[in-house]
């Protein structure tokens, strides 16, 4: 087997998704730690001690784009690898869409500056809980796809097996 053939295995898109998640979570946490919270009193709001500019919070999540890397395997010749790339990329899109939706649905415009703020102290828990759920979904899809890939490999008729595999 050629050394590059491993990149054409069906599970590689899921591995790339997992590596992207492992890289992006600490990196996003680092960027989020750099954000400076603004107390509610300074913004003229009634509650909260950790208000952050919405755009800064969204920018801190840009490392999530690494989970879209399985898209590259859409161009693989093997059908199982393309399906794995589809599911891994779909989970990557969901992983980006859920926090962005949570943040944009809960932002508050501050009248003086026009800047929109989010109560990061309260929202952070929901965002990271959703993050854990989506990562769990990714690993569940990986396990499900592994089961289906094994079942489809066993179910192939003998006539469909190439001659060099039968020997």
| Domain-located, residue 28 | yes
2-to-5, 7, 76, 116, 140 alpha-carbon distances in Å = 5, 10, 16, 53, 30
Looking at residue 71, its pLDDT comes to 93
| Count of domains forming the chain | 1
Looking at residue 69, its pLDDT comes to 93
Strand order in the sheet with 51-53: 51-53, 116-119, 108-109
Looking at residue 125, its pLDDT comes to 86
Tens-place pLDDT, residues 70-126: 999 988 888 888 888 999 999 999 999 999 998 888 888 876 777 888 888 888 888
CA atoms of 119 and 124, how far apart (whole Å): 8
| Domain-located, residue 159 | no
| Domain-located, residue 78 | yes
| Domain-located, residue 70 | yes
**Residues spanned by the domain of 135:** 16-151
Report the mean per-residue pLDDT for the chain.
84
Contact partners, residue 45, CB within 8 Å, separation at least 6: 51, 108, 110, 117
| Domain-located, residue 71 | yes
Q: Which of 90, 100, 89 is nearest to 62 (CA)?
A: 100
| Domain-located, residue 167 | no
Average pLDDT over residues 117-140: 87
The answer to whether the CB of 98 falls within 8 A of the CB of 126 is no
| Domain-located, residue 158 | no
Looking at residue 31, its pLDDT comes to 92
């Amino acid at each position: 087997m050629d050394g590059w053939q491993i990149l054409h295995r069906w599970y590689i898109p899921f591995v790339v998704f997992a590596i992207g998640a492992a890289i992006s979570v600490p990196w996003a946490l680092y960027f989020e730690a750099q954000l400076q919270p603004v107390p509610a009193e300074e913004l003229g709001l009634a509650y909260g001690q950790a208000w952050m500019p919405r755009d800064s919070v969204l920018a801190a999540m840009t490392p999530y784009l690494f989970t879209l890397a399985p898209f590259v395997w859409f161009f693989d010749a093997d059908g199982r690898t393309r399906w794995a790339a589809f599911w891994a990329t779909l989970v990557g899109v969901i992983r980006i869409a859920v926090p962005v939706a949570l943040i944009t649905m809960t932002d508050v415009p501050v009248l003086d500056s026009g800047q929109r703020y989010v109560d990061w102290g309260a929202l952070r828990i929901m965002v990271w809980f959703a993050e854990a759920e989506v990562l769990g979904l990714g690993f569940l899809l990986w396990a499900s796809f592994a089961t289906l890939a094994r079942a489809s490999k066993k179910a192939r008729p003998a006539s469909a097996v190439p001659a060099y595999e039968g020997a």
